[in-house]
Each structure stands twice: as C-alpha cells, then as structure tokens.
Amino acid sequence: MIIIGELINGTRKRIKRAIAERDDAYITKLAQQQAEKGASFIDVNPGTIGDKEVEDAVWLVKTAQAATDKPLCFDTPNPAAMAAALEAYEGSAVPMINSISLESERLETMLPLVKDAGCNVVALSLGDAGMPTRAGDREKAALPLMDLLMDQAGLPPERIFMDPIITPVSTQAEVVGLICQAIAAIKKHNPQAHVTSGLSNISFGLPNRKLLNRVAVTLFMHAGMDSAVLDPLDERIMGQIFTTETLLCRDEYCMNYLMAFREGRLEV
C-alpha cells in the first residue's frame, strides 16, 4: 500500500499556525514521524491563497525535504504555487503533483506542469459535469483522463494515481459500492495505474469516524485500491492495512504482517 501522509495540511489549525509562524521544528517532526510510520510520500498543502500560497508552498517544500528523504506530494490547486513547489524541490526521489482533473480550466493550467515535470500525479475522477453522484460518473471522467495523461503528458501508467473521489456515506448510502465499481474499472482499464484517494472523506459527518475509515479501507483495497491519503500515525488503520494486504495475497509469506507484529504496530 502506497501511503501519502496527510498531516502537513494548512487547513488544519495547528499546521496553519506552524506555517504562519514558520515553525520549522514542528513541520520537521511531522514529516519525520510520518516517514518513520510508513508514509511513501509526504503531502505538503499550504492551505492558503494567492501570492501567500506560493511563498508558503516553497517554505513547506524546503522544510519537509530537509527533514526526510521521502518524496513530497505537492498539494495545491494553484498553478503558480505548484510551479514554485516543483522548482524548490531538490529531492532525488520522484515527487507527486496533487492534483489534476478533467475539468477544462484545471486541465488547461495543470497539464503543462504535469507534462514538464514528468513526475507522479494524482488525477481526480472529476469533469465539467461536477461531483460524481450516479453510477458510472467516476469512470466517465477517470478513464479519459488516464488516457490523456499517458498520450498527451507522456506519463507511464505507474506514475498515475487515479482518485475515484471518496464522498461521505452520510450523504449517499450507496457511495461505497459506486467507488468500488470505479476502482475496479480503473484497474481493468490499466492494471499498472494506481488508485488513491482521501480516505477519511468517507466518514465525514458521522461519529466514530476512525472505525468507518478502517472498514472502508479494507473494502476499497479489495476492489483494487493500492494507495491512500491518510494519517500514518494512526496505528489502528495502519494495522488494518497490513492485515488486509496479507489476506488479499499482497504480502508474500506474510512477511510485512510478521514484521509489523514484531514492531508492535498491529494495534487492535
């Protein structure tokens, strides 16, 4: 499972303050903790707007990459901030752009950056029709976008992380089935492409959210999801992922499960 550590996000109050105060010690600690707990990428999201977002994105990139050798995931809808983040990045590992979509305006501004950078990219199953609500909506955006990224941006499928758009089960009871259907369609269209998403969106508005997230990740992994944006410091969800990978035959000789057990990482 490819984990994108979600904690350095300026929409969170504590992170917003750390960015405003240039608290590099706090950001450094979060980056290192997420890397130690299994994050494959460290997401950096300024959560600000305009010129301020450009400045904050550069500071976050420089701070996080000094803290860990894990590749960064640049998370911003602002093309200027994205370009500045890419320019500031000096890591040797291939980073990630989060995100592009099939929406006309976003495609126009982000596709040149994706093409020039040639790095990993999160691609949202979202087009000009808006948020997906019906069966097939996600696939209608995801599959053409995947083809476009390969054909026009020259990306190999293994650098494409399709996002089926996880929306709350509290607002649409059948959404888990629709998401699983979209995941399966994406993997069938190109098995080498990855599937990722912001996992915790599924539980928004409901109590005991972490329990819902843990069950959801198993269902989505069974459908073919092989990546997620989540909190790697949450030992229970990480234990759920280790266990699910073992049960889905994605853990040869159960070695990752056994190692996690020895390290005390299988919280129940």
For 188-221, how does the pLDDT look when each residue is reduced to its tens digit (9 = 90+)? Answer: 999 999 999 999 999 999 999 999 999 999 999 9
Q: Find the radius of gyration of the CA atoms of the chain.
A: 18
For the cut 80, the answer to whether the pLDDT of residue 32 exceeds it is yes
CA 103 to chain CA centroid, Å, is 19
The pLDDT score that the predictor gives to residue 50 is 82
| Confidence at 49, pLDDT banded by 50, 70, 90 | confident
SS3 readout for the chain: CEEEEEEEECCCHHHHHHHHCCCHHHHHHHHHHHHHCCCCEEEEECCCCHHHHHHHHHHHHHHHHHHCCCCEEEECCCHHHHHHHHHHCCCCCCCEEEEEECCHHHHHHHHHHHHHHCCEEEEECCECCECCCCCCHHHHHHHHHHHHHHHCCCCCHHHEEEECCCCCCCCCCCHHHHHHHHHHHHHHHCCCCEECCEHHHHHCCCCCHHHHHHHHHHHHHHHCCCEEEECCCCHHHHHHHHHHHHHCCCCHHHHHHHHHHHCCCCCC
* Structure confidence by residue, pLDDT tens digits, 111-156: 999 999 999 999 999 999 999 999 999 999 999 999 999 999 999 9
Predicted structure pTM score: 0.96
Average pLDDT, the chain: 96
Domain ranges of the chain: 1-93, 96-233
For the cut 80, the answer to whether the pLDDT of residue 238 exceeds it is yes
The pLDDT score that the predictor gives to residue 228 is 98
| Confidence at 60, pLDDT banded by 50, 70, 90 | very high
In the predicted model, what is the mean pLDDT of residues 234-261? 96
Superfamily, domain 96-233: Dihydropteroate synthase-like (3.20.20.20)
